[in-house]
């Protein structure tokens, strides 16, 4: 009878260890999932100021699926249980308050932070197929946009700063959740359309950090991928 090693480490180490091999074509599926999440935004937007629970649940679910595709099944399970409890808590509050949405937002930020880190780690892994490295890196770039969207929303909800829309943009109205999404991706891609301005040290600091990520991360990723050997393709594109 074979016995498992007694020195298994702590629970956190058990959760963080990969419990399975990555699914074939995981990079393609992860990138496609993030694009589908972007396309889901106009379908669920009804002009609300706060993020609909449906888009939050879809984002967390996509992060959990990503962890599962990368082989972190135990980590995905633990975060899935935490997300279920957080969204059940949010459902118990009829009003869209920060008190009710706080746990769900925290789970979303944690899940996406972990998923971005592990996706970048896979994109920098020389043992992966080059095409899957590229797609994991591209998917993690999109994940950064959603992650910073949540950060901007938290800052606005806590009153740590303000966000002002352009005067010629749909009159004088309060920022909506899609405005934070637009601000995040326009900053991350360094497009800078100027539809929304950050006011205060915290909003400006987060926007500056996101702009730096938008410039440095693609350059670092491309340099890293280009420096890795193109092994394991076997003549196939994907």
pLDDT tens sequence across 152-196: 988 988 888 889 887 766 656 778 889 899 999 999 998 878 788
Q: Of 226, 214, 15, 185, which is closest to residue 114 (Cα–Cα)?
A: 15
Contact 203, 162 (CB under 8 A): yes
Q: Of 91, 37, 25, 90, which is closest to residue 63 (Cα–Cα)?
A: 37
Contact 169, 163 (CB under 8 A): no
pLDDT grade, residue 1 (50/70/90)?
Answer: very low
Global pTM value: 0.85
Catalogue all structural domains in the chain, each as residue range(s) with its CATH number.
Answer: 24-227 (1.10.287.70)
**d(C-alpha 213, C-alpha 207), whole Å:** 10
Query: Tell me, what's the pLDDT at 236?
Result: 47
Instruction: Copy the structure tokens of residue 25.
Output: 């074509």
Instruction: Please state which of the ranges 34-38, 125-129, 192-196 shows the lowest mean pLDDT.
Output: 125-129
Residues present in the chain in total = 238
Query: Tell me, what's the pLDDT at 169?
Result: 63
Query: Tell me, what's the pLDDT at 5?
Result: 43
Residue 122: strand pairing partners: none
């Amino acid at each position: 009878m074979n016995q498992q090693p007694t020195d298994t480490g702590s629970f956190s180490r058990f959760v963080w260890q990969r419990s399975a091999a990555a699914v074939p074509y995981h990079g393609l599926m992860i990138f496609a999932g993030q694009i589908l999440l972007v396309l889901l935004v106009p379908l669920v937007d009804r002009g609300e100021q706060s993020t609909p629970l449906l888009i939050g649940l879809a984002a967390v679910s996509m992060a959990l699926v990503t962890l599962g595709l990368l082989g972190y099944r135990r980590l995905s399970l633990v975060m899935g249980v935490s997300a279920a409890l957080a969204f059940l808590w949010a459902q118990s509050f009829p009003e869209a308050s920060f008190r009710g949405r706080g746990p769900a937002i925290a789970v979303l930020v944690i899940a996406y932070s972990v998923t971005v880190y592990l996706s970048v780690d896979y994109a920098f892994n020389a043992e992966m197929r080059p095409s899957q490295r590229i797609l994991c890196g591209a998917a993690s770039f999109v994940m950064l946009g959603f992650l910073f969207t949540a950060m901007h929303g938290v800052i606005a909800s806590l009153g740590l700063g303000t966000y002002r829309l352009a005067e010629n943009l749909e009159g004088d109205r309060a920022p909506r959740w899609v405005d934070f999404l637009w601000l995040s991706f326009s900053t991350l891609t360094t497009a800078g359309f100027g539809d929304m301005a950050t006011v205060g040290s915290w909003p400006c600091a987060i926007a500056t950090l996101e702009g730096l990520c938008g410039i440095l991360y693609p350059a670092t990723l491309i340099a890293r991928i280009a420096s890795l050997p193109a092994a394991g393709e076997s003549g196939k594109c994907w």
